[in-house]
Structure 1
Amino acid sequence: MNTNVSANDYDFVPRLHDRVSASPFYRSKFPDGLDHIEAFGSIPITTKAELRNASITDILAVDRALISHYHESSGTTGQPSSSWFTRNDIIRNAAQINLSGIRLQDTDMVLIRFPYALFLPAFLIQEASYQMNASIIHASSRNNVTTYPKILQLMSTLGVTIFAGLPRELELLAETARLLDYSIPAQFPSLRAIWVAGELLSPKRKLHLEQLWGVPVYNLFGSTETGNIAVMCEEGNLHYSEDEFYIEVLEEDHRSPKPTGERGRAIITTLQHEASPLLRYENGDIVSIQPSQCACGSSKHEIRHYGRLSERIEVHGQIIDSYDIQEAIYGLQPVPVAWRVKECKEDFELMLEFNNEEEADTSHIESYIKTQLGQGFRCTFVSENTLLNRAELLTVDAGRKPQYISKLDDSPEKTMFEEGKTLFLDGGYTKAMELFQEVIKRDAKHADAYAFQAACLGKMIEQGNLLSKVKLLPNLKRSAALAVQMNEFSPLARGVLGLMLLKTPEEFGGDVRRALKQFKLSLYLGSQDPDLWLYLTEANMKLNRISDAKEALQKALQLQPASKTALDLQKKLNKKG
């Protein structure tokens, strides 16, 4: 784009002049106005630092009576930036979002997972849903009420058709689903599409999310200061409207325009934003622009986003953007569940965390990363829970409504249940199970009674002979399934389910890998049962994961140094070397 043509040759300049001149910030920046400026490209850039240093109200260009929304950026790259929106601004942004490939309908149920606290996208999706008469579930992230398990429950039970949130939220929800042994997409048959915004979404990351969830993913590109700029069509391309934005892509010197299709600094002029208009604003993004050649038929220009300038890396003379890093990482098989790039004195360390049950070829990954990103990157493979704490994904108690009055429960069911627990801990499994069965007869929804009943059966099978195991195994399967069904967040229920999967022969439904997941999930949910480490040892041995088995056994011996089972497992492990 030629930014050196006369400012008067831009048909939007007169309209923009009137709007900008109403802003105290721009009146101060251009005390003589814009009429004397001969070339649009000679208008000084508006920087983030200028906006942050200005008074919040100085960027206002309308009377406060017309203001509908105030928002701030997340501040991840520094002090937050402010923005104002009139009702017209919100309506126009939402109407633009409704031009995306999702084609929102009045039959859609939209779950909005974007944070609502000062964050813009949640409110734009909300308005877009209102415009199409779609239903909304307000399920903001970053709080203790709508936890990850709760979101999965809402998506399944309410028949959510559209999910809207950050790309990382989708990855964390998928990991939570894996921990809870949910099947995606079978668990969410109504889901038909996903909206994402707020983070970079490279093509391979987009493909990864689509493979995780089994539905198309549509990106939205914009910023808090500008509002939404571009929407993704059915072909996966971001289109922006020249009626609403004039976008320049400049060299580092801020003077020379980049050739069409090449990466450069994004300089954005808002043409219709009423509340806080921006003139040649550098928003910190690296983009490229090309005329539309899209199969969707849109004549609007395409914009491609490569990440933030602040995250650009130069190593060994090579420029690496976040886009390049994402393309490399999400091109891996398997894709790591968490990753982080750390700058060191002479190179960059790429930390990668995989789920333990995934067989990651470390030598191949190291070679692939160097091929994609250069010799300035080296890989470190970290253990599970180093970068992502799975237990935090499963937290369900923190957001519960407080109970101010607590009364004693002296019901017969409570007395029997407590007596059963005491017998269970003392090894009286048969009598304990009878008490738990009686509790269930009186209260068919007593989740803990189901869990302890299953635990009794598991202990009886461990101690019994072959005939008793054959007889009790079907009951254990049924009890374990009911225990999880009644309370999927019960660590005891998860541990029992794992035990059933571990002890059952494969031809009758046993599954050692699933058992391993259940034992880990039980620990994530807070189980203090020391036997879980013995089960983890046994499961890892069956999978020939000797290193993991030794690690689990070491923990088991710390908790139960005199355990005969632990000592027997130690002998077996020592034979394996």
Structure 2
Amino acid sequence: MTAALTRRPRLGDWRSHEELAASRRARLPEVLSQAARTPFYARRLTEGATLDDLALTTKQDLRDNYPYGLLAVPKEELATYHESSGTAGRPTASYYTADDWHDLSERYARKWVGITASDTFLVRTPYALMITGHLAHAAARLHGATVVPGDNRSLAMPYSRVVRVLHDLGVTLTWSMPTETLLWAAAARAQGHEPGRDFPNLRALFVGGEPLSPARRRRIAELWGVPVVEEYGSTETGSLAGECEHGRMHLWADRAVFEVYDPATGRLGVEGSGQLVVTPLYREAMPLLRYNLEDAVEVSYDDCPCGWVLPTVRVLGRSAFGYPVAGRAVTQAVLEDLVFRLPVGDEVLFWRARAHADLLRVEIEVPDARREPATRALRAAIDEVLRVPCEVAGVSPGTLVPRSVLTGVHDVVKPRSLFGADEDWDKALLYY
């Protein structure tokens, strides 16, 4: 357990990027030694090999070596096992020791809006096999906060209950995908609450898991009247970057080596645009060497007013992919930004679009009184910025997100096998 014996850096332990890079180089021999204990890297690592000598580790490599091909410690030392969402075929497995969890929790808690013992923290991301809910839970408990384990894949936690918990418990911090916060706002209004007025204890919304355009971020902050604080990471790696008070996302370059891969040329660099490649420096159970997350990013080493001597990252993810319309690429990131530039008075929270070969069709949920000006303004913005033929239609609130989703309460019962004569026994053994 050599990684457990090594002190991990703290923010401010270094004064320059060069000093930080030197500390990473000093750490790498131990990282390679730990990786050589795994069946997968034992086949790849030759004597005297350095990180620069190695090919990228891919998601397919993780699938091909499911479940324990990248295990570097005895199974008895594992604390948790996880699988990431959205994998095809074999799962992408990840596992952590108790010491790994200290590292994970410390990194997640590096928020400019700190987590304290006086906080009530609603965790509204999946628990299950993904790491996201467990990570926020562990970080909050590390700092003494009260955790409300909300999940978001459970019938026991519908949006009506989320709003009740936010309001009645005086929740101060939340962790969710950005889209969730818009759904909460709609559900709150459906129950007679106003998001920016009736939740006075709320002081920040922590978000991650999907790209967030500047305009949507501003709209969420306007709705709730609190800062929106982004986090970036994955089930395979835990937290990789967090946001400073100036709104810039910083890579935790004291805890991992970050590289940018250009798939077109095969080149790896320390900054620029491409796919993010990561080598964790303090991973005990499952070392990863040059792991390609395949997320599109832009990495920069420009100075930041916050004083953190860390590179910054702009995460584009799948939003960098564009659908062709009339010879031009239309991306979700740009289209989302145009939608949320509409005035807050238009009350547009939900939208969808379909890219045809020669036409972009967009629908927005908007109250009848604002339908004509909102659709006209969005159509003009698309014409100006995207310059593609488009149709913009306004639909009534409840069309894209049904009111029953926002207000419904599900029956969640224990399974049973004995029923009365007038009861529905087709529900035998089912949890609903």
Normalising by the smaller structure, the TM-score range is 0.7 to 0.9
1:155: Cα distance to partner?
1.4
Q: 1:264 to 1:332 in 2, by over 3 A?
A: farther
Partner of 1:282 in structure 2? Answer: 292
Counterpart residue number, 2:6: none
* 1:369 paired to 2:382: yes
2:258 matched residue in structure 1: 247
Question: Relative to 1, partners in 2 of residues 1:379 and 1:61: Cα closer, same or farther, differing over 3 Å?
Answer: farther
Match of 1:166 in 2: 177
CA distance in 2, matches of 1:60, 1:259: 28
Structure 2 runs not aligned, ≥5 long: 1-23, 421-432
How many equivalent residue pairs?
Answer: 393
What residue in structure 2 maps to residue 24 of structure 1?
Answer: 39
Within 5 Å, which residues of 2 pair with 1:414-429? Answer: none
Aligned residues of 2:325 and 2:356 also touching (Cα < 8 A): no
Q: What root-mean-square deviation, in Å, do the aligned CA atoms of Structure 1 and Structure 2 show?
A: 2.7
Alignment partner, residue 151 of structure 1: 162
- Alpha carbons of structure 1 residues 52 and 320: separation in structure 2 relative to 1, 3 Å: farther
Match of 1:237 in 2: 248
Q: 1:55 aligns with which of 49, 54, 66?
A: 66
Contact residue 116 and residue 140 of structure 1 kept, 8 A: yes
Deviation at 1:203, TM superposition (A): 2.0
Instruction: Please report how far the alpha carbon of residue 302 of structure 1 lies from its aligned counterpart in structure 2 after TM superposition.
Output: 1.0
Q: Distance in 2 between matches of 1:180 and 1:226?
A: 39
State the structure with bigger RCO (CA 8 A, min sep 6), 1 or 2.
2
Matching residue of 1:193: 204
Task: Give the TM-score normalised by the residue count of structure 2.
Answer: 0.82
Q: Residues 406-438 of structure 1: CA distance to partner in whole angstroms, max 9, x if unpaired?
A: 9xxxxxxxxxxxxxxxxxxxxxxxxxxxxxxxx
Shift of 1:16: 2.1
Measured after TM superposition, the shift of residue 109 of structure 1 is 0.9
Task: Spell out the pairing of 1:419-568 with structure 2 (5 A cutoff).
Answer: none
**CA offset at residue 11 of structure 1?**
3.5
Superposition deviation, residue 272 in structure 1: 1.5
Contact 2:190 2:406 in 1 (8 A): no
Q: Quick one: percent identity of the two aligned structures?
A: 29
For residues 173-322 of structure 1, what are the structure 2 equivalents within 5 Å?
Answer: 173-253=184-264, 255-257=266-268, 260=271, 262-308=272-318, 311-315=321-325, 318-319=328-329, 321-322=331-332
Kindly indicate whether residue 77 of structure 2 is the aligned counterpart of residue 66 of structure 1. yes
Report whether the alignment pairs 1:341 with 2:349: no
* 1:48 Cα deviation after fit: 1.5
Structure 2 letter corresponding to 1:158: L
CA displacement 1:191-241 (0-9 Å, x = unmatched): 111111211122222211111111111111011111110111222111122
Secondary structure of the structure 1 residue equivalent to 2:56 = coil
Q: Which residue identity is paired with 2:48? A: D
Equivalent-residue separation in structure 2 for 1:255 and 1:350 (angstroms) = 37
Q: Is the 8 A contact 1:205 1:326 kept in 2?
A: yes
Deviation at 1:376, TM superposition (A): 6.3
Partner of 1:455: none
1:347 shift after superposition: 4.7
> What one-letter code is carried by the residue in structure 1 that aligns with 2:191?
L
Quote the residue 1:33 is aligned against. 46
d(CA) in 2 for partners of 1:119 and 1:59?
Answer: 18
Question: What is the aligned partner in structure 1 of residue 336 from structure 2?
Answer: 326
**SS of equivalent residue, structure 1 residue 287:** strand
Report the CA distance shift for 1:99/1:348 in structure 2 as closer, same or farther (over 3 A): same
How big is the shift at 1:336?
3.1
Residue number in structure 1 paired with 2:403:
390
Shift of 1:348: 4.2
Distance 1:138 1:242 in 2: 30
Residue 312 of structure 1, CA deviation: 4.2
How big is the shift at 1:22? 1.5
Contact 2:159 2:405 in 1 (8 A): no
- 2:125 aligns with 114
Shift of 1:267: 1.6
Secondary structure of 2:316's counterpart equals strand
Preserved contact between residue 165 and residue 195 of structure 1 (Cα < 8 Å): yes
Structure 1 residue 386 displacement after superposition: 3.4
Q: What displacement does 1:81 show? A: 2.1
Q: Structure 1 runs of 4+ off > 6 angstroms?
A: 76-79, 401-406
Contact 2:83 2:92 in 1 (8 A): yes
Q: Tell me how far 1:397 sits from its aligned partner.
A: 3.6
1:351 equivalent in alignment to 2:363: yes
Q: Is the Cα contact below 8 Å between 1:68 and 1:87 reproduced in 2?
A: yes
Structure 2: distance between partners of 1:170 and 1:91: 28
Q: What amino acid maps onto 1:284 in structure 2?
A: E
The answer to whether the 8 Å contact 2:324/2:355 transfers is no
SS of residue in 2 equivalent to 1:164: strand
Change (3 A) 1:12 1:342: farther
Residue type at the aligned position of 1:287: V
Deviation at 1:283, TM superposition (A): 1.1
Conserved 8 A contact 1:60-1:275: yes
| Alpha-carbon distance in structure 2 between the residues aligned to 1:43 and 1:309 | 29
1:434-469 deviation digits (Å, cap 9, x = unpaired): xxxxxxxxxxxxxxxxxxxxxxxxxxxxxxxxxxxx
Larger radius of gyration: 1
Instruction: Indicate whether 1:75 and 2:90 are aligned.
Output: no
Q: Report the Cα distance in structure 2 between the residues aligned to 1:376 and 1:85, rounded to whole angstroms.
A: 50
Structure with the higher strand share, 1 or 2: 2
**Residues 284, 309 of structure 1: 8 Å contact kept:** no
Structure 1 contact 348–378 (Cα < 8 Å) conserved:
yes
Aligned to 2:95: 84
**CA drift at 1:60:** 1.5
- Structure 2: distance between partners of 1:44 and 1:348: 41
Query: SS of 1:247's equivalent?
Result: strand
Letter of the 1:221 counterpart = Y
Question: In the alignment, residue 348 of structure 2 is paired with which amino acid?
Answer: P
> Does the 8 A contact of 2:117 with 2:146 survive in 1?
yes
Task: Find the aligned partners of 2:348 and 2:166 in 1 and give their Cα distance.
Answer: 25
Per the TM alignment, residue 106 of structure 1 is displaced from its structure 2 partner at its CA by 1.1
Contact 1:306 1:322 in 2 (8 A): no
Q: Letter of the 2:81 partner, please give it.
A: Y
CA 1:204–1:244 in 2, change beyond 3 Å: closer, same or farther?
A: same
Q: Are the aligned partners of 1:110 and 1:134 in contact in 2 as well (CA < 8 Å)?
A: yes
In 2, distance between residues paired with 1:376 and 1:79? 41
